[in-house]
């Protein structure tokens, strides 16, 4: 009888811990912060500053580079990030759809625009330490 009780307790513990692990896997990774983003284009590599704010699965922020600054909205589900950036050009407005996989402080993905698909990467930048003399 004691062996049966022991098996029951072990089974319950395994199921409980599996539930916690499964719930944690559904939570989005934290992407809030500043990122240095690089895209590969026909003209070469382009560097951008990506600033992300996050509330649960929803993200918003700005993408800033040599061609100006654009705001975006998107989402994070698990370790997958998606966001859209609308760009104004002399030829009109177009949207770029970014999708990527987050791995700690780096992201790797693709960007789809009317002119084609390109690869992008991003590295989270470390916040500068505040001046200790203040």
Dihedral sign of CA atoms 113, 118, 119, 124 in order: negative
Confidence of residue 130 (pLDDT cuts 50, 70, 90): very low
- The predicted structure's pLDDT at residue 104: 93
The residue with greater pLDDT, 82 or 93, is 82
pLDDT computed for residue 34 by the predictor: 97
User: What is the average per-residue pLDDT within 126-131?
Assistant: 54
DSSP for residue 26: H
pTM of the model: 0.74
More confident of the two residues 43 and 130: 43
Contacts for 11 with CB less than 8 Å, ≥ 6 apart: none
Cα separation, 22 vs 26, in Å, equals: 7
Q: Which tokens is 77 given?
A: 């589900």
Domains and CATH numbers, the chain: 33-124 (2.40.128.120)
Look at residue 132 in the predicted model and tell me its pLDDT: 35
Length of the chain: 134
Reading the block at residue 90, the tokens are 């002399």
């Amino acid at each position: 009888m004691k062996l049966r009780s022991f098996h029951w307790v072990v089974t319950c513990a395994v199921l409980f811990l599996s539930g916690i692990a499964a719930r944690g896997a559904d939570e989005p990774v934290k992407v809030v912060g500043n990122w240095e983003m690089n895209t590969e284009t026909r003209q070469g590599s382009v560097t951008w500053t990506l600033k992300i704010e996050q509330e649960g699965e929803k993200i918003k922020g700005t993408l800033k580079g040599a061609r100006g600054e654009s705001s975006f909205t998107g989402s994070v589900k698990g370790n997958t990030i998606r966001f859209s950036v609308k760009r104004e050009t002399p030829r009109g407005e177009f949207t770029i759809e970014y999708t990527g996989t987050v791995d700690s402080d780096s992201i790797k993905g693709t960007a789809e625009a009317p002119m084609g698909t390109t690869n992008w990467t991003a590295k989270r930048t470390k916040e500068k330490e505040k001046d200790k003399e203040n």
